[in-house]
């Protein structure tokens, strides 16, 4: 374990939980995000917390000075509703990773982690709901998600060439729909597990009998619980494997089945109203975990039902607090 680690995007869901996870191992953390500190989902009392815009090269020089490793999770992103309508904003995140790589090289950082996404996989491989798992080699010929997916794929290539040309040790994870408590649950950037949990919680609290579902509910996905994501990220960072690697559950369900799970947890049954004009993304997506099992001897294993029980419970509490006029309070150490 290194002595000092920079975590960017530390005010976000995965970044904040990664800070907490690494702190528990006794690591000195420098946590950076551009959001005001009171908006961070996890606010550490022991990390060196900084607020700055990492699209600026000089800021990247400053925050990466004196650290041994960089975990780059900073990006302008969200669920399908956000990335379909904010392609330019998503692509501007390329400045963050590019500038961080330049700064890491100058400041002689030992190892650099980049959080990529399953959105790098081509649309033509994801047109069937009964899709086989996406293997890492399936990314080419390239046709990723417009905007967000192209930025992630380009940044993967930047990491590769900084490793090959300059000797910077880079590691790349392709995350598949990470979810859990302490994440975004409303406002348009939330992903399906959080959005559905919020809608069910509202239905329970308001006594309504229906839920809106984007699309026909038959589109398939796999969802990765945050604890699996963190463990897999750290294993990959410590490994000698240098190619992009899926970190995702291979427990594929369709959206209707995801709603079934949340309804069962909440003890309610709702009428489903399908919004066929809403953003819905690719028809099917799932992680093939053959390679991660081979190189790490492990793969995500937390069941969707177990992860969603914790996620729904937390989101229900947030929705109830808001309805009662209480402020949302982020998790402190």
Active site amino acids: 148
CB 293 within 8 A of CB 238: no
Question: Which distant-in-sequence residues (6+ apart) come within 8 Å of 57 by Cβ?
Answer: 99, 102, 103
**Using CA atoms, how far apart are residues 104 and 166, in angstroms rounded to an integer?**
11
CB 84 within 8 A of CB 279: yes
Torsion of CA 283, 258, 329, 183, to 10 degrees: -40
**Using CA atoms, how far apart are residues 325 and 333, in angstroms rounded to an integer?**
24
Helix (H) or strand (E) holding 179: strand 178-179
Burial 226-254 (b: 16+ CB within 10 A, else e): bbbbbbbbbbbbeeebeebbbbbbbbbbb
Tokens 């650290």 sit on residue: 67
Helix (H) or strand (E) holding 70: strand 69-72
Question: Which distant-in-sequence residues (6+ apart) come within 8 Å of 127 by Cβ?
Answer: 282, 283, 284
CB 206 within 8 A of CB 141: no
Number of H helices, E strands in the chain: 11, 15
The sign of the torsion formed by the CA atoms of 83, 84, 85, 91 equals positive
Taking CA atoms, 55 is separated from 42, 61, 87, 101, 103, in Å, by 22, 11, 16, 12, 12
| Number of other residues whose CB lies within 10 A of the CB of residue 217 | 15
């Amino acid at each position: 374990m290194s002595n000092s680690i920079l975590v960017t995007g530390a005010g976000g869901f995965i970044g904040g939980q990664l800070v907490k996870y690494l702190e528990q191992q006794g690591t000195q953390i420098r946590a950076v995000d551009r959001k005001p500190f009171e908006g961070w989902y996890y606010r550490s009392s022991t990390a060196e917390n900084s607020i700055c815009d990492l699209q600026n090269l000089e800021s990247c020089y400053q925050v990466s000075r004196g650290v041994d490793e960089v975990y780059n999770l900073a990006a302008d992103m969200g669920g399908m509703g956000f990335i379909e309508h904010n392609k330019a904003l998503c692509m501007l995140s390329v400045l963050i990773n590019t500038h961080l790589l330049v700064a890491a090289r100058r400041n002689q950082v030992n190892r650099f982690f980049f959080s990529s996404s399953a959105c790098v996989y081509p649309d033509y491989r994801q047109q069937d709901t009964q899709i086989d798992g996406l293997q890492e080699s399936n990314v080419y010929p390239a046709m990723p998600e417009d905007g967000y997916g192209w930025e992630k794929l380009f940044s993967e290539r930047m990491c590769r060439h900084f490793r090959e040309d300059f000797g910077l040790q880079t590691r790349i994870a392709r995350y598949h729909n990470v979810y859990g408590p302490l994440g975004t649950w409303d406002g348009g950037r939330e992903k399906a597990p959080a959005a559905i949990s919020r809608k069910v919680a509202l239905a329970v609290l308001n006594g309504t009998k229906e839920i809106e579902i984007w699309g026909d509910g038959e589109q398939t996905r796999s969802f990765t619980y945050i604890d699996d994501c963190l463990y897999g990220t750290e294993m990959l960072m410590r490994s000698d494997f240098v190619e992009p690697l899926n970190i995702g559950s291979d427990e594929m369900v369709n959206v209707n089945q995801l709603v079934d799970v949340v309804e069962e947890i909440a003890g309610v049954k709702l009428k489903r109203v399908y919004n066929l004009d809403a953003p819905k993304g690719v028809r099917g997506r799932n992680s093939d975990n053959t390679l991660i099992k081979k190189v790490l001897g492990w793969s995500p294993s937390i069941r969707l039902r177990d992860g969603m029980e914790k996620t729904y419970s937390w989101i229900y509490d947030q929705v109830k607090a808001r309805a009662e006029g209480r402020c949302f309070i982020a998790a402190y150490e």
